[in-house]
Structure 1
Amino acid sequence: LDQRRSQVLIQAAILEISGDNADALGVQWAAGDPTKGVGVINFSNVGASLTSIAAVAAQDNPTSLPNLNGASLGFGKTETNSKGDRTFYGALIQAIKTMSNANLLSTPSIMTIDNQEAKIVVGQNVPFITGQSTNSSSGTTNPFTTIERQDVGITLKVKPHIGEGGTVKLEVEQEVSSVVPSVAGVNSADLITNKRSIKTTILADDGQTIVLGGLIQDDNSQSVNEVPLLSKIPLLGHLFRAKSHSQTKRNLLVFLQPVILRDSQNAVDLAAKQYNQTRILQLEIGQKGKLLRLPEQINQIYQGSTTVVPAKTVK
């Protein structure tokens, strides 16, 4: 009963690589007499719509126009006949291309005794609405909302079992979650979260890095808005059409490495090693223009590479 039990350090690595490419091109038209009526060819799948721009421009004191991303070219002309009637002609051409890439590497780790479950959570405790009610009494109305707080972030729960020959059986639950940023014009009753989780039982050797699972996702979408008949005219049909295309690729992999610590000296050496790696990481981040990249070898993924490579967006 008094024999010292071995400990196990479990290091996980969540690697997510994503890339987004999108492009759009469209032409919008307007013609007519502002006092009698204007005909508009309006598309909403390419930047700002012509009607939204016209609505702001028609104000007595317009403060700002809708956001015009990418390259926008607008032109128009007003003609007045002998009777004083005015006819307006105008067009808006918009083109935009967006590219973004992001690498996310998180390496949570936790140490526990053989056959003892351990859990680590790195994130936020977010309130979610579970119900709403109104209490009316004495002519007054008292609305109230009930909430439930949940952990959002990185969660690693594991229970190791050391076997013969340095093998380790691991009962693993790994979860990565995040709150989706709100989107303008989209109403939701409560917060929306992204969630990626794995629950499995695996067998690994001491110090061996294995992959728990992963996901490769490739999404393609295309949107075409056009004017019937006119859009089918050879060459000129492009003036009556708006096209947009987007492609998203995502690669998610989860790795795990157990390390057995059989005596106190192993634990002391490990603590010193982890501290030194943290100091090196601090110095590298402090250097101007220094960005940490993914290591070439999988066995190097836990050596201080707890880094997020920021997304790069080109428009």
Structure 2
Amino acid sequence: MVMGRLLFRFLFLLGVIPSLLFAKSENLSFNFQDVPVRTVLQIIAEHQQLNLVVSDTVTGNLTLKLDNVPWYQALDLVLEIRGLGQKRQGNVLLIATLEELAAQQQSELQHQQEQERLRPLHSRHYAINYAKAREVASLLQGSGGNRLLSERGVVSVDERTNTLLVRDSEATLAELEALIVVLDVPVRQVVIESRMVTVRDNVDSELGIRWGIYGENGSGLLSGSIEGNDSLGSGVTPSIGDRLNVNMPAVSPNASSFAFQVAKLGDELILDLELSALEAEDKGEIIASPRLTTSNQYTAFIEQGEEIPYEESTSSGATSVAFKKAVLSLTVTPRITSDNKVVLDLLVTQDTRGRESSTGEVGINTQRISTQVLANDGETVVLGGIFQKQQLKTVTKVPVLGDIPYAGWLFRNTRDTSIKTELLIFVTPKIMFDSLPVAR
């Protein structure tokens, strides 16, 4: 009699409750009192139309009251309460204890490793076009858990032809080949244009700046002068002078000038900056205009100067000639961002000859600027702050009379001059765009 009542309640639970609980397609509600956990799991699986496999170790009852909760949250609560885990394979839901699932996963891993050891090995060679084969080989070999080759896989490098020689299973070789296709692409390149300018003290009173823009958009034309607009209308890019609409040049009519691009506004507008440097009056000098092309994240380096010889003693007591550099150098490492801007790591050094020690060794005066800046494509970055001060003493005298002891100063004129110069570096990165697929 008792068994009949329990059976009736169980059938009622399976047949009636589910139809009443699933008011929403993704949420469910129920109120269970001391119900077998396997029954609750079956209800959730039927709600999601999943095939259910439950381990024999899943036993016990539970009391649960949930109101309008997502089915996956209800499932997680049931599993957490009973210390169970799940494994989904397609439309089949497997429920077992955590220990059983861990043991099963370990067994599958061992089986896969055993199959891998039994698979035959094959050899392939891959000609690397753009990357260095040695670097790709290091990536494939990895270290620790980062190894991309199998346990039996080996890779060799032919430096002469920049070729990889790989021996591994067919499945691993297929994965490596797909990876090599992704890695072996040309790196984007950046043109680094720079100007190194020295200016003297008080040069700001004779250094003029003229700003201007020009552009073309549809039928609208824009330039800094009437001549510039006429040139744009005829399809000709206006000259630098015609693009300038705010004119503040140097006052001297004999001033020489140089111009460069400081910023790029959109795709068609260009902001021009012209510096009128009075080189004729020895107030400024362009000492170098290097132009370098380098790959993304690769360092470009240029230097100009001299190597100073000096004698040094060796451990045996003999002397040998060594050299020290006194150079002006620029080191640039560009990094292209995803939005086509350029991060520049810049290092500028200006080394000059210093004093000689009593042993004849030459000292080097060093000045450095090291910084990182973010620039738009075609935008000019200005670096300054490297100063150099020179003290000059000029003596003018009357021959013979100027050399008379004690009274010679009456026939001499002494002039002390202090010259202060500053080094300005103008750096303009320009991204090279081409039709080749490139790494970003």
The bucket for the TM-score relative to the shorter chain is: 0.3 to 0.5
Return the TM-score normalized by structure 2.
0.31
Decide which structure has greater strand share: 1
Larger Rg: 2
Decide which structure has greater helix share: 2
Higher relative contact order (CA 8 A, sep 6+): 1
